[in-house]
Chains A and B, each alone.
Chain A
Amino acid sequence: MVENPKPDPSVIEVRQLRKEFGVLKAVDGVSFDLKRGEFLSIFGPNGAGKTTLIKILTGLTRPSSGTARVAGYEVEEGIPEMRREIGVISHSPALYADLTPMENLIFFGKMYGLEHPQESALAVLEDVGLAPRRHDRVRTFSRGMLQRLSIARAILHDPSILFLDEPFTGLDIHASNVLKEHLQTLHNKKRTILMTTHDVSCGLEMCDKVALQVMGRFAFFEDVKDIDKENFEALYFDAVRNNQFTMGIRPH
Chain B
Amino acid sequence: MNLFLSQITAIVWKDFVTELKTRELFSAMFIFALLVILIFIFSVNLSIVKASEVGPGILWVAFLFSGTLGLNRSFVLEKENGCLMGLMLAPADRTAIYFGKLISNFVFLTVMELFILPLFMIFFNIDLLEHLLPLLLVIFLGTLGFCALGTLLSSLASNLKTREIMLPILLYPLLVPIVIGVVRMTGQILAGEPLSEMMNWIGLTASFDIIYIGVSIMTIDHILEE
Contacts of B81 in A (CB 8 A): 92-97
Contacts of B82 in A (CB 8 A): 90-94
In the complex, how many angstroms separate the beta carbon of A120 from the nearest chain B beta carbon?
14
B79, closest chain A residue (CB): A92
- Complex Cα–Cα for A59 and B87 (A): 12
Contacts of A55 in B (CB 8 A): 226
The reply to whether A94 and B85 form a contact with Cβ atoms under 8 Å apart is yes
In the complex, how many angstroms separate the beta carbon of A158 from the nearest chain B beta carbon?
13
Contacts of A107 in B (CB 8 A): 10, 13-14
Task: Decide if B91 is an interface residue (CB 8 Å cutoff).
Answer: yes
Task: Decide if A229 is an interface residue (CB 8 Å cutoff).
Answer: no
Q: Per a CB cutoff under 8 Å, which of B9, B85, B90 touches A92?
A: B85
- Complex Cα–Cα for A90 and B85 (A): 10
Mark interface residues in B10-24 (1 if CB within 8 Å of A CB, else 0). Answer: 110110011001100
Contacts of B22 in A (CB 8 A): 98
The reply to whether A97 and B80 form a contact with Cβ atoms under 8 Å apart is yes
Give chain A's interface residue range (CB within 8 Å of chain B). Answer: 20 to 34
B226, closest chain A residue (CB): A61
- Complex Cα–Cα for A86 and B87 (A): 13
In the complex, how many angstroms separate the beta carbon of B18 from the nearest chain A beta carbon?
5
Contacts of B3 in A (CB 8 A): 113
- Known A94-B81, A94-B82; contact A111-B18, beta-carbon cutoff 8 A: no
- The prevalent SS among residues of B at the interface is helix
Contacts of B83 in A (CB 8 A): 94-96
Task: Decide if B173 is an interface residue (CB 8 Å cutoff).
Answer: no
Instruction: For chain B, residues 196 to 226, give those with C-beta under 8 angstroms from any C-beta of chain A.
Output: 225-226
In the complex, how many angstroms separate the beta carbon of B8 from the nearest chain A beta carbon?
10
Mark interface residues in A61-101 (1 if CB within 8 Å of B CB, else 0). Answer: 11000000000000000001101101010111111111100
The reply to whether A61 and B86 form a contact with Cβ atoms under 8 Å apart is no
Q: Per a CB cutoff under 8 Å, which of B11, B89, B225 touches A86?
A: B89
Task: Decide if B119 is an interface residue (CB 8 Å cutoff).
Answer: no
The reply to whether A60 and B88 form a contact with Cβ atoms under 8 Å apart is yes
Q: Per a CB cutoff under 8 Å, which of B80, B87, B225, B226 touches A111?
A: B87
Central interface residue in B7, B17, B89, B91, by most chain A CB within 10 Å:
B89
User: Which B residues are within 8 Å of any A CB, using their own CB?
Assistant: 3, 6-7, 9-11, 13-14, 17-18, 21-22, 77, 80-83, 85-93, 225-226
User: Which A residues are within 8 Å of any B CB, using their own CB?
Assistant: 55, 58-62, 80-81, 83-84, 86, 88, 90-99, 103, 107-108, 110-113, 137, 153
What are 8 A-to-B residue pairs whose CB atoms are below 8 Å? A60-B88, A60-B225, A84-B91, A93-B82, A94-B81, A108-B90, A111-B7, A111-B87
Q: Which 9 A-B pairs give the minimum distances between C-beta atoms?
A: A92-B82, A94-B86, A80-B91, A110-B10, A111-B90, A83-B91, A94-B82, A107-B14, A113-B3
